[in-house]
Amino acid sequence: MSYMNIAAAMREALAVIDVEDISPVEACDKYLFIADTGGVVKFDSSIAPYMRKPLERAFSRQCRELGLVGSARSTKTKTLLDGVVFYRVWQNPCDILLIFATQKTAHGYSDKELGRMVRNTEPLQKLQTGNRHDDGIERKRFRNDSTVTINSATNDALSAQGYGVVIFTDYDRAEDDGNGAGGNEGDKFGRGSKRTLQAGSDGITIAEASPSRTPIKDQEGLKPHQAPRATGITAIYNDGTCEVWYWPCPHCDKWFMAKWECLQWEDGKPDTAKVVCPCCGESIYPDEKHDINLAGDYMFPGEVDENGIRQVIEQPDLYRSSFWFEGLCAAFNDWGDMVKEYIVAVEHYEKFGDESKLQVFFNTTVGRPYTPIAVDSELTGENLQDRATNYQLPQGVAPADTRFLLATIDVQGGANSRFDVQVMAFAEHCQWQPIDRFQILLNEQRMEAGEPQRVQPHVYVDDWLPIIDKVINKEYAIDGTDLTIVPRLTLCDSGGSDNENGEGNTTFHAYQFYRELQKKGLENRFLLLKGNPRAFREKEWDGWTKISEPDSSSDHPMAARGDIPLLNINSNVVKSSVYSSMMNEQSDSPRYFRPPFWAKQDWYNGLLSEEKNDKGQWYCPKGKNNEPFDHAQYAFAGLWHTRAMAIDWDKPPNWAAPLNINVNVSMRGEHTTASQPRKRKRVISRGLT
């Protein structure tokens, strides 16, 4: 066995304790290299001065918890992950835990970002052991015995072991509670903080994110500098020191919060965007942004008075330090581009009633919690029912200005099995009015002891056949005429629950029914659908619906085999658009909702039964009936699929034309709904040649 001589041992020991009397920001500016697209770049804190104080505070013994709220494209993640890891491993070795939203993003950061940073930052290069097992995807160990563990917020990751530093990145992207074995074990930030207790004043727990949780309805009593009440990173911020980034005006020397509302521009000219000082009204232009950022500072609540003058105040307890800056000062946010994005988001909302682009803009570009219209709304069933007096038609009669009908079916299995049907009339600009609602309970073609039997969509394929005459081919009288109109399209839920024993297969029977419609030439008037938000990109606009052609032939020879179209619905987006249309009180606007006079209070309550949770997702509280809202969602999905909202009403398609030339309008009994039945192509083998 060979031994290291004393000189070599001393050299190695000196390398490990090769520290320098230097602050965190100075150290990062001097030594730190961070990963960039395809390579590495030198860290420069002057690019994002609003990250200097949070980085310094992360090494203050007065601070044990730190929360940062900010916009995207701001270097906040790079600073608080790479900067803290680098300085802590080099200057104050300890065990560090980095928590990501998912295991996939954790591994991606470890392999590409952290690995490049370590290999290119000189003080960390010297601390690498050279052993392959010390440079893994989930753990990196250094010669000074410091370790960096990279994981997601599982219960195992937040249990048992102690750390000097725990950092949560992109905090709002994962559940607040841990996941994995053990189920729900409580707030992940609090549990992360417990992991650093044994480190004493040397330990710290950090969380950073762009806020994405939906504020709650009650916002009374907010204190200065507090963000709208919400869960996630916003709650962490509100429970801390609530320090906000301020700018000094170069004209009047007064301090003001660098907020989105300070930005002004000429109509139709986003490139004219400039900041207007709320104190003196003078303009600050984009080329001045870097300088005022360098002069900016975080202020405690009450540190700047209503006149913009900085006051001397007593420093609050820094145990939980929290910081908030908005996208106006973010390093890589161009003011003109911000305005363009905002204008596009507003136009998108006005066109489709969809808030998703506005939410993305305020959450990520501005760095502020977004309050959806539904949360602020005072809309009630009584409000809608009061409006119904303007549309006094009996049930089953379409308005005189109807252009097309959409029928929707919600399939119910189990003990109360049925087809729940609703029919909506659409006028020009897709103004909509429910004209009928009923249930298909019995199948007169399936008799036992002389009695028609209750439909069981999950058990009998034949129980789907009544849909043809009772929905697809059903004629509706048009007010003031002798004409009738049939639905342009029937949209039907492809799922539905099985019976109480978990038996049956609703989806399988739905596919079989569609094949029966193909034989009858009715497949163009019927479409299966499914609420499936996972089919859509999460962080960008991706439409309301998508057609897929499922293939489950490996499960059953008669199952879908890529021959049946399925309409996937971006449920959260579509439901928000439905709600926005009901909020609208301008009777001449697109997608205006005309409340039906015949509907009862319970129907209106069902239309408003769903609420938004803290992540902005629609859900139905237990015990409420949401079928009317589901039907409206299906109908709006039909609007998107048929491109009805893009119709040029001066040149409409024949199914949305005026009554005298509309293909779906005729005298009673004279409608032709079937197209030429599709024949299966026969393939005749010619044998081998």
52 burial level (CB within 10 Å; 0-12, 13-18, 19+): buried
Q: Is 195 helix (H, G, I), strand (E, B) or coil?
A: coil
Mean pLDDT across 495-512: 70
Mean pLDDT, the chain, rounded, equals 89
Report the predicted TM-score, pTM, of the whole model to 2 decimal places. Answer: 0.84
Q: What are phi and psi of 632, to 5 degrees?
A: -65, -40
In whole angstroms, what separates CA 181 from the centre of its chain? 26
Contacts of 187 (CB under 8 A, 6+ apart): 176, 177
Q: Which residue has the tokens 């030429």?
A: 676
Instruction: Say yes or no to pLDDT of 81 above 50.
Output: yes
Closest listed residue to residue 92, CA positions, set 188, 161, 180, 16: 16
Closest listed residue to residue 208, CA positions, set 81, 32, 53, 46: 81
Burial of 409-431, coded b for 16+ CB within 10 Å and e otherwise, reads bbbbbbeebbbbbbbbbbbebbb
Beta-carbon count within 10 A of 104 CB:
10
Instruction: Say yes or no to pLDDT of 499 above 60.
Output: no
How do residues 560-587 score in pLDDT, each as one tens digit? 567 799 999 999 899 999 999 999 888 8
Query: What pLDDT score was predicted for residue 632?
Result: 97
Tokens of 107: 């591994």
Share of the chain above pLDDT 70, in %: 91
Query: What pLDDT score was predicted for residue 182?
Result: 45
How do residues 445-487 score in pLDDT, each as one tens digit? 888 888 888 999 988 899 999 999 999 999 999 999 999 999 9
- Beta-strand pair 165-169/147-152: unpaired
How do residues 319-343 score in pLDDT, each as one tens digit? 999 999 999 999 999 999 999 999 9
Closest listed residue to residue 367, CA positions, set 375, 359, 357: 359
How do residues 121-175 score in pLDDT, each as one tens digit? 999 999 998 888 888 889 999 999 899 999 988 888 888 789 999 999 999 988 8
CA atoms within 13 A on the CB side of 564: 27
Distance between CA 318 and CA 298 in Å, rounded?
Answer: 13
Q: How far is CA 116 from CA 130, 270, 271, 558, in A?
A: 15, 38, 37, 52
442 burial level (CB within 10 Å; 0-12, 13-18, 19+): middle
Distance between CA 329 and CA 289 in Å, rounded?
Answer: 7
Query: What pLDDT score was predicted for residue 539?
Result: 54
What is the SS3 assignment for 395-446? CCEECCCCCEEEEEEEEECHHHCEEEEEEEEECHHHCEEEEEEEEECEEEEE
Contact 603, 561 (CB under 8 A): no
DSSP-assigned beta bridge partners for residue 269: 266
Distance between CA 324 and CA 322 in Å, rounded?
Answer: 7
Query: What pLDDT score was predicted for residue 682?
Result: 44
Distance between CA 633 and CA 565 in Å, rounded?
Answer: 19
Distance between CA 671 and CA 679 in Å, rounded?
Answer: 23
Tokens of 305: 């008075």
Contacts of 661 (CB under 8 A, 6+ apart): 654
Radius of gyration of the chain (CA): 31
Query: What pLDDT score was predicted for residue 17?
Result: 64
Q: Which CATH number fits domain 22-244+315-324: 3.20.20.70, 3.40.50.300, 3.30.1490.20, 2.40.160.210?
A: 3.40.50.300
Q: Is 328 helix (H, G, I), strand (E, B) or coil?
A: coil
- Beta sheet of 489-493, edge-to-edge order: 432-440, 418-426, 404-412, 489-493, 526-531, 566-569, 545-548
Mean pLDDT across 79-91: 95
Closest listed residue to residue 509, CA positions, set 459, 554, 549, 557: 459
Residue 340 amino acid letter: K
Contacts of 339 (CB under 8 A, 6+ apart): 263, 265, 270, 273
How do residues 516-546 score in pLDDT, each as one tens digit? 999 999 999 999 999 888 888 665 556 889 9
Query: What pLDDT score was predicted for residue 304?
Result: 96
How do residues 279-292 score in pLDDT, each as one tens digit? 999 999 999 999 99
Residue 509 amino acid letter: H
Query: What pLDDT score was predicted for residue 623?
Result: 86
Residue 352 amino acid letter: F
Tokens of 83: 């900067």
Query: What pLDDT score was predicted for residue 178?
Result: 63
Query: What pLDDT score was predicted for residue 496?
Result: 60
- Which of 625 and 178 is assigned the larger pLDDT? 625
Contact 641, 565 (CB under 8 A): no
Beta-carbon count within 10 A of 395 CB:
14
Burial of 526-538, coded b for 16+ CB within 10 Å and e otherwise, reads bbbbbbbbebbee
Contact 575, 535 (CB under 8 A): no
Mean pLDDT across 293-301: 97
Q: Is 299 helix (H, G, I), strand (E, B) or coil?
A: strand
Angle at 440 between CA 594 and CA 472, to 5 degrees: 65
Share of the chain above pLDDT 90, in %: 68
Stretch among 83-92, 107-116, 420-429, 591-600 having the lowest mean pLDDT: 107-116
Tokens of 481: 């005429």
Distance between CA 615 and CA 13 in Å, rounded?
Answer: 50
Instruction: Say yes or no to pLDDT of 302 above 70.
Output: yes
Cα torsion through 85, 91, 96, 99, rounded to 10: -20
Q: Where are the domains of the chain?
A: 22-244+315-324, 381-667
Distance between CA 193 and CA 65 in Å, rounded?
Answer: 7
Tokens of 473: 């081919």
Q: How far is CA 278 from CA 128, 243, 334, in A?
A: 52, 19, 21
DSSP-assigned beta bridge partners for residue 548: 566
How do residues 369-411 score in pLDDT, each as one tens digit? 999 887 777 788 888 988 888 888 999 999 999 999 999 999 9
Contacts of 515 (CB under 8 A, 6+ apart): 564
269 burial level (CB within 10 Å; 0-12, 13-18, 19+): exposed
Contact 525, 673 (CB under 8 A): yes
Question: What stretch of H or E contains 604?
Answer: helix 601-607
Tokens of 675: 């197209």
Residue 68 amino acid letter: L
Closest listed residue to residue 206, CA positions, set 316, 283, 310, 98: 98
How would residue 185 be classed by pLDDT, with cut points 50, 70 and 90?
low
Q: Which residue has the tokens 């942004």?
A: 289
What is the chain's length?
A: 689
Residue 261 amino acid letter: E
